[in-house]
A = this chain, B = another copy of it.
Amino acid sequence: MINIKSAYLNTRNQFLTLCSNLETEDYSVQPTEFVSPPKWHLAHTTWFFEQFVLKEFSSEYTVYNDDFAYLFNSYYNNAGERVLRPNRGLMTRPTVKEVYAYRNYVDSKMVVFLDSNPSKKALEIIELGINHEQQHQELFYYDIKYIFGNQPTFPTLKNSIALNDITQKQEFITIKEGVYQIGHNTAGFSFDNELGVHKTYLHQFKISNNLTTNAEYIAFIEAGGYSNFNLWHAEGWDFITKNNITAPLYWHKVKDTWHYYTLNGFKPVEPNKPVTHISMYEAYAYAEWKQMRLPTEFEWEVASEYLNYGQLWEWTNSAYLPYPSFSKAPGALGEYNGKFMINQHVLRGASIATPENHSRKTYRNFFQADMRWLFSGIRLAQ
Contact = CB atoms under 8 A, between A and B. Distances in A.
A62 interface: no
17 contacts: A24-B96, A29-B29, A67-B152, A77-B229, A83-B152, A92-B151, A93-B151, A179-B179, A179-B201, A200-B200, A200-B201, A201-B201, A234-B339, A235-B343, A236-B342, A342-B369, A343-B343
Nearest to A320: B319
Contacts of A108: none
Given A71-B152, A199-B203, 13 more contacts: A24-B24, A24-B25, A67-B152, A77-B230, A77-B237, A89-B89, A91-B151, A199-B201, A233-B339, A235-B342, A293-B322, A319-B319, A319-B321
B153 A67 contact: yes
A284 B94 contact: no
Interface in A347-376: 369
B151 A342 contact: no
A150 B90 contact: yes
A340 interface: yes
B235 A92 contact: no
Given A28-B28, A235-B343, A342-B369, A153 B201 contact: no
Interface residues of A, number: 65
A224 interface: no
Contacts of A26: 92-93
Interface of A: 23-29, 31, 39, 67, 70-71, 75, 77-78, 83, 87, 89-96, 147, 150-153, 155, 179, 198-201, 203, 205, 229-230, 232-237, 280-281, 284, 293, 317-319, 321-322, 324-325, 334-335, 339-343, 369
A31 B90 contact: yes
Contact of A28 (B29, B229, B284, B335): B29
Contacts of A199: 201, 203
A153 B31 CA distance: 22
B28 A25 contact: yes
Given A70-B152, A179-B201, A93 B339 contact: no
Nearest to A146: B90
Contact of A152 (B91, B147, B152, B198): B91
A342 B92 contact: no
Nearest to A94: B153
Contacts of A95: 23-25
A44 to B, nearest CB: 15
A184 to B, nearest CB: 16
A24 B29 CA distance: 12
A234 B29 contact: no
Nearest to A343: B343
A283 to B, nearest CB: 11
B23 A230 contact: no
A318 B317 contact: no
Contacts of A24: 24-25, 95-96
Nearest to A89: B29
Contact of A230 (B78, B233, B341): B78
Nearest to A204: B324
Contacts of A234: 75, 339-340
Contact of A232 (B75, B325, B339): B339
A10 B96 CA distance: 32
Contacts of A147: 90, 92
Contacts of A339: 232-234, 237
